[in-house]
Amino acid sequence: MTTVVLVTGANSGIGLALCERLLSQDVDGLQLCLACRNMRRAQAARCALLTSFPTAQVALLQLDTSSVSSVISAAREVKVRYNRLDYLYLNAGIMPNPQFDVKAFFKGLFSSNVITMFATGEGILTQKDDVTSEGLREVFATNLFGHFLLIRELEPLLCHEALTSQVIWTSSSNAHRSAFNLEDIQHFRGNQPYSSSKYASDLLSLALNTRYNKQGLYSSVICPGFVMTSLTYSVLPAFPALLWTLLMPLLWFIRFFTNTFTLTPYNGAEALMWLFGQSPESLDPKVKYHSLTSGLGNNYTQARKMDIDLETSEALYAKLLQLESDLKMKLEEKQI
Ligand SMILES: NC(=O)c1ccc[n+]([C@@H]2O[C@H](COP(=O)([O-])OP(=O)(O)OC[C@H]3O[C@@H](n4cnc5c(N)ncnc54)[C@H](OP(=O)(O)O)[C@@H]3O)[C@@H](O)[C@H]2O)c1
């Protein structure tokens, strides 16, 4: 019996911590596939994993989720290597050129919203997005669309009668309905593409469950909490590493007021690990599973209702299908 697990963005942060935790569980017949855009970093991650777990089966796959052609060829390769996928962790993500709104921060500090602001980053983070060579908004393409396409391409490996597969998204508590616009799903017009893309993944997960549960495919979303990774360090790039280290006692202290400050990738991967042990039929498609760490450092997972509805999720799904068809047509025209 084998258990095939594919993790996107597996070479660092929460994705790598998840791989370490999966391997430390000594799952029977575990075959881990690290899907990464940068093969040098992927190789380094594989070596580190094999140093700790020398007999583990760890494969690499080149995948750039921001590129339609890369996703299609990666999926083709997966179909050659495996007959089925048990778990597909959609974890790769970016938050490029983040701007920290100091004014909004100080305003929030003295408002009743202070805990929410610390817990979710609501209102204090904006980003400057780019456009990919295929004409897509980069954050939308990386965090959402590439993953959507990957699921669609891997459908034959994920949908089996009498067997279940799980798709698990690393979303965020920064996913806000107010940042998302159904008429602008790529977020061309706003300055919160990250929040928009994460809200869209929450919606998409619901739509996937509506469509695919009968075929054995189940989708869930998690929030890892606030974790110190290259993604978070980039929010305040002017902060030298030493300053972050000096700030750590304060961050640990904040944990007594909001247990969303998981801080380490190991803690952040808690909900991803928790879902690995669950029977997917028992999961609620309308909740997000949060990794939480108590003031005393204990990890646990908590389900919290999401601010999503079926109608919007269906409308988003239809738009993604349309975009997929347009892009595939463009790709085919290019190849002729
Ligand atoms: N850290 C937090 O507090 C936090 C909170 C909420 C949600 N999240 C989510 O957690 C996930 C993991 O982030 P992290 O915090 O662990 O940050 P990280 O260490 O920067 O990890 C991000 C991973 O995504 C990969 N990636 C980025 N763009 C990619 C692309 N186009 N194709 C394939 N892989 C790509 C990165 O690969 P490279 O090494 O090549 O860049 C890296 O492996 C993200 O989805 C993020 O949005 C994080």
Compute the distance from residue 34 Cα to the ligand 1 centre, in Å. Answer: 13
In this structure, which residue's CA is closest to atom 34 in ligand 1?
9
Q: What is the reported pTM?
A: 0.95
Question: What is the CATH code for 3-335?
Answer: 3.40.50.720
Return the domain boundaries, the chain: 3-335
| Burial group, residue 213, by CB count within 10 angstroms (0-12, 13-18, 19+) | middle
Token pair in block for residue 282: 């028992």
pLDDT of residue 334: 81
Identity (one letter) of the amino acid at 303? A
> How far apart are the CA of 197 and the centre of ligand 1, in A?
13
Catalytic residue among 87, 89, 194, 317: 194
Q: What is the pLDDT of residue 237?
A: 67
Residue 249: its pLDDT value, please? 87
If one residue of 7, 11, 14, 202 were mutated to test the ligand 1 pocket, choosing by the most ligand atoms within 8 A of its CB, it would be: 14
- Residue among 13, 10, 49, 11 nearest 265 (CA): 13
Q: Give per-residue pLDDT as tens, 215-263.
A: 999 999 999 999 999 898 887 666 677 777 888 888 888 888 889 999 9
Q: How far apart (Å, rounded) are the C-alpha atoms in residues 33 and 58?
A: 6
Which candidate, 248, 139, 249, places its Cα nearest to that of 184? 139
pLDDT of residue 126: 83
Name, in order, each residue with C-beta under 8 angstroms of 240's C-beta and a sequence gap of 6 or more.
Answer: none
Q: Which residues of the chain have pLDDT under 50?
A: none
Cα 116 vs. chain centroid, distance in angstroms?
Answer: 21
pLDDT at residue 113, rounded to an integer: 76
Percent of the chain with pLDDT over 70: 98
Q: Is the Cα torsion angle 121, 310, 90, 259 positive or negative in sign?
A: positive
